[in-house]
Structure 1
Amino acid sequence: MPERVSQATRERIAVAVTATGYTLNQAARSLRRQRAGTIVMAMPNAGNPYYSTILDAVLAEAGHRGYGVLVSNRVQGDPTIWLRDYFLSSRADGLLLFDITLDVSGMRRFMEERGNLPIVVVCDEIIEPGFNLVTSDNREATGRAVQHLVDLGHQHIGLVAGPTIHDYPNERTLGFRQALARHGLAMREDWIIAGDHSIGSGYQAGSQFVALDERPSAVVCANDEMALGFISSVQQAGLHCPRDVSVVGFDDIDMAQYVSPALTTMRQKRAELATISTSALIDIVEGVRDPAKPVRIILRCDLIARASTAPPKGAAVRPAREFRF
């Protein structure tokens, strides 16, 4: 036991290890454990600033548990074949899936065929109960984004929506629609503009907003990148944020607080999402969690109010209140 070894002895061992250049044979260690000691993290776009904090936290938690991480980044095409190759060759013990655009059901069938290899999904949608899932409460968070705007006095609110993937409902779009209905606000389909989570689609959404005959006084964007593109577009067209349109983003990426105006947004707990999902996956790999009882962890987001939202012209501000769903 380590506590039975004196400090002096440990120091002599450390000196000897350094002098001989000894390193742990990870292949032999993995063979003894009958595991590869590696997990795969699949994400759609490593260049998206949303994933920087997530990747750091996954690497930190996996390293703490003695595991390496292979990163699959969707650049083009479907990396499913690449992922399957790693599991067929026993080079990975489980899959941490941030890329919901993959054929999730197909991946799960493949994992089951390989003896129930673990998979934990981290995504924006509430997918079928059979999956291990770690996510944010996107529907509730979007409802609070609408609540924030209503408290400021906004009655005409639009949405720059993210894409709907597979057959799962888009939780942020659903949360937006439900929130407007709760407040008795008009739902105008021409105020719901489709985007793809990129800054470019947000910029295009801003152009569509400017061209509207009647514009909402506030817009919720399904992520921060689209919000930043949207603000840039409308301000280049001669409008001002928030005087002419208030904007709320989603995620709280690092640059959100440094742009002008600083972006009001719903903060996802990205480091927690990454740490919890990585720990859950490794627990399943090591038999700590029962694979027959799927993981279901949903984290609450925080509203971060900054300069991109303000009362509409001539509106009376309602006292801010906590709204439970």
Structure 2
Amino acid sequence: MAEVSSATVSRALTSPERVSEATRERITAAVVETGYTVNQMARSLRLRAAKTILIAIPNIGNPFYSTILDAVVQDAAERGYGVLVANRLGGDPTLGLKDYFYSNRADGLLLFDATLNLEALQDLPLVRGNRPLVLSCDDIPDAPLDLVMTDNRDAADTATRHLIELGHKRIGTVRSRTTPNVVSERHSGFERALKRANLLIRQDWIWQGDHTIGGGIVAAESWLALNERPTAMFCGNDETAIGFISRLRQAGIDCPRDVSVVGFDDIAVAQHLSPALTTMRQPRYYMGKVATALLLDILEGPTAERTPTRRILKSELIIRASTASPRDFN
């Protein structure tokens, strides 16, 4: 219809500056009249690039990840990339992720799920001599991977120190999810703060969480069953803290009068709870932007092996109404 070759149409759509204005106008009119769109699958097969990145997250229902995902989708789109989301893959999840690459459906991976076997992912096809993978969850010591994460250990230390400075000496925790890859950085920070203050780390005041409201409820049941209870709790994330506080309220236990609680993440609902939740604010949106930019730079950068980048972002203590000085328990 435009009376030009398919190659000229391709140039007009991808590099319009290489085609004369009159030809562009003729092609644009033909595109409008025919309703033509680029066959992205065919283009990907020809270029051997999907122009798509994959983000793997453990729980898309957790509002912590929705904020990150929003940043990833927006920034990827601005650079011409689509985003696929892998959430709780069944079977062997590492095989599922690698299938995206070997079937040419994704060019790179943003990994926000530390429960996966990273060793099995380190044989992903190289792009320009580099691994097209950015890790953004718990640190994996000595792994030659690009990393964007927050200062989990220091942030947990800060949260615990806040409770200590309020006068609490009996402090427990619902620890973050542990994985085969790492020891929870947040739990390490919690223990570091207690040791520095010469406070006892009691194993019966440590509960294993799973980053869910339900996990917080289970921990609260155990807390209620204790004869001697902590007067303050550091929870591995906000959803855990929400479940913990809600179950105690059902049992007539007031926060912070009877127990102070600190969360982690500062999800949107944290400030609207009763009591409003004291928590560590992670720069989630910025984390998503930095991780996306790093991955796309790997995909589009020079053809040369590079040293992996490590970006550690700072968290901020947000003090609200769920923490206070302990009552006199003598």
Question: What TM-score, normalized by structure 1, do the two folds share?
Answer: 0.87
Q: Deviations over 1:40-96 (max 9, x none)?
A: 111111112211111111100110111011111115433222222221122211111
2:193 to 176, 179, 186: 179
Residue of structure 1 equivalent to 2:310: 296
Report the residue type matching 1:232 in the other structure.
Answer: S
Asked if 1:214 corresponds to 2:260, the answer is no
Asked if 1:305 corresponds to 2:294, the answer is no
Aligned-partner Cα distance in 2 for 1:113–1:86: 15
Aligned-partner Cα distance in 1 for 2:230–2:125: 47
Asked if 1:130 corresponds to 2:144, the answer is yes
Quick check: 1:72–1:79 contact (8 Å CA) kept in 2?
A: no
Residue of structure 2 equivalent to 1:244: 258
What SS does the corresponding residue of 1:101 show, helix, strand or coil? coil
Listed as ranges, the matches of 1:35-50 within 5 Å are: 35-50=49-64
Residue of structure 1 equivalent to 2:238: 224
Report the residue type matching 1:54 in the other structure.
Answer: I
Which structure 1 residue ranges, 5 or more long, are not aligned? 316-325
Listed as ranges, the matches of 1:92-241 within 5 Å are: 92-111=106-125, 116-241=130-255
Residue of structure 2 equivalent to 1:271: 285
Report the residue type matching 1:271 in the other structure.
Answer: Y
Comparing 76-85 with 216-225, greater Cα deviation is found at 76-85
> Following TM superposition, by how much is the alpha carbon of 1:196 offset from its aligned partner in structure 2, in angstroms?
1.3
Comparing 86-95 with 272-281, greater Cα deviation is found at 86-95
What SS does the corresponding residue of 2:122 show, helix, strand or coil? helix
Report the residue type matching 2:100 in the other structure.
Answer: Y
> Following TM superposition, by how much is the alpha carbon of 1:217 offset from its aligned partner in structure 2, in angstroms?
1.0
Aligned-partner Cα distance in 2 for 1:99–1:40: 12
Report the residue type matching 1:82 in the other structure.
Answer: G
Comparing 126-135 with 87-96, greater Cα deviation is found at 126-135
Question: What TM-score, normalized by structure 2, do the two folds share?
Answer: 0.86
> Following TM superposition, by how much is the alpha carbon of 1:289 offset from its aligned partner in structure 2, in angstroms?
8.8
> Following TM superposition, by how much is the alpha carbon of 1:16 offset from its aligned partner in structure 2, in angstroms?
7.8
Residue of structure 2 equivalent to 1:256: 270
> Following TM superposition, by how much is the alpha carbon of 1:202 offset from its aligned partner in structure 2, in angstroms?
0.6
> Following TM superposition, by how much is the alpha carbon of 1:168 offset from its aligned partner in structure 2, in angstroms?
1.4
Report the residue type matching 1:171 in the other structure.
Answer: E
Report the residue type matching 1:65 in the other structure.
Answer: R
- Residues 288 and 274 of structure 1: CA distance in aligned 2, closer, same or farther (over 3 Å): farther
- Residues 189 and 268 of structure 1: CA distance in aligned 2, closer, same or farther (over 3 Å): same
Aligned-partner Cα distance in 2 for 1:291–1:234: 54
- Residues 291 and 170 of structure 1: CA distance in aligned 2, closer, same or farther (over 3 Å): farther
What SS does the corresponding residue of 1:159 show, helix, strand or coil? strand
Quick check: 2:128–2:303 contact (8 Å CA) kept in 1?
A: no
Asked if 1:57 corresponds to 2:94, the answer is no
Q: Deviations over 1:256-291 (max 9, x none)?
A: 111211111101111111111111011001125964
Residue of structure 2 equivalent to 1:90: 104
What SS does the corresponding residue of 2:86 show, helix, strand or coil? strand
Aligned-partner Cα distance in 1 for 2:125–2:309: 16
Q: Deviations over 1:152-194 (max 9, x none)?
A: 2212211111222114121000000011111121211111111
Report the RMSD for the aligned CA atoms in angstroms: 3.0
Q: Deviations over 1:205-256 (max 9, x none)?
A: 0011111111111100001111011001111111100000000000111111
Aligned-partner Cα distance in 2 for 1:184–1:209: 23
Report the residue type matching 2:199 in the other structure.
Answer: L
Aligned-partner Cα distance in 1 for 2:239–2:299: 35
Quick check: 1:134–1:273 contact (8 Å CA) kept in 2?
A: yes
- Residues 311 and 114 of structure 1: CA distance in aligned 2, closer, same or farther (over 3 Å): same
Quick check: 1:44–1:99 contact (8 Å CA) kept in 2?
A: yes
Quick check: 2:111–2:133 contact (8 Å CA) kept in 1?
A: yes
